[in-house]
Amino acid sequence: MQLIGILGGTFDPIHNGHIRLALEAQEQLKLNQVRLIPVNIPPHRSIPVVSTEHRLAMMQLATENESTLSLDLRELESEEISFTINTLKSLRQEFTDNALCLIVGIDAFNKIDSWKDWQDLLDYAHIIVANRPDSLANKPTNDISPVLQRWIEKYQITDHTQLKNNLSGNIVFINIPMLDISSSMIRQLNSEHKTLEDLLPNTIQTYIKDNHLYLDSA
């Protein structure tokens, strides 16, 4: 059985924080691959600033030398709102015999009970929660609902090697040195003509400059 990581987002633009998260999760959990899934119509945030074509081009540049990272375009090919539960159902139909591992940051996970059909997510995938290094290992923050707390207690495991025992159904917390980077920060800095060094790969910096992207703050 293979372990397939799933990392979704608007990737507007993709940056070193996204790449670090995907690669660290892949290494720690021994994932066979991580599929990056750019959202089409996000349910919980604003629509992307630049076109789908530009977002994809930047993602291709970011992953071209990373053999374990691949792009998955299923949400872009759908005209529906990109609900995670629907994406996982689609992935499960394709990867019938492999374990799916949905990778989310701790901030997103703390609000996962606002997602559509959130309690059904574990029917289709494991959930991998990326904690910050200064967080307690294997623990969520205290700022979560009692219902979510009970859900964690029921499904959490601490030995990630057990992920291969089932196709889905477990929650694992891992500590990842998260970079203090966001796509909105990059867009703001670029609109102010400030350096993007160390925030995203040089190839993407060049692409943004050559295509005159993110010149307005957003």
pTM: 0.93
As a whole number of Å, the end-to-end CA separation of the chain is 43
- Around 198, how many Cα atoms within 13 Å sit in the side-chain half-sphere? 2
Q: Is residue 201 part of a domain?
A: no
pLDDT tens per residue, range 162-216: 999 999 999 999 998 878 899 999 999 999 999 999 999 999 999 999 999 999 8
Would you state the pLDDT for residue 134? 63
Strand blocks (E) in the chain: 3-9, 33-38, 69-71, 99-105, 126-131, 171-175
What's the structural domain count of the chain?
Answer: 1
Burial class of residue 67 (count of CB atoms within 10 Å of its CB; 0-12, 13-18, 19+): exposed
* Residue 96: both structure tokens together: 């019938």
Mean per-residue pLDDT, 61-79: 95
Query: Residue 3: what are its φ and ψ, rounded to 5°?
Result: -110, 120
Q: Is residue 215 part of a domain?
A: no
Counted residue by residue, the chain has a size of 218
pLDDT tens per residue, range 1-52: 999 999 999 999 999 999 999 999 999 999 999 999 999 988 877 889 999 9
Could you tell me the CATH number of the domain that includes residue 17?
A: 3.40.50.620
* Residue 150: both structure tokens together: 């009970």
Which domain range does residue 151 map to? 3-179
Q: Which residue did the predictor score with more confidence, 158 or 140?
A: 158
Tally of helices (H runs) and strands (E runs) in the chain: 7, 6
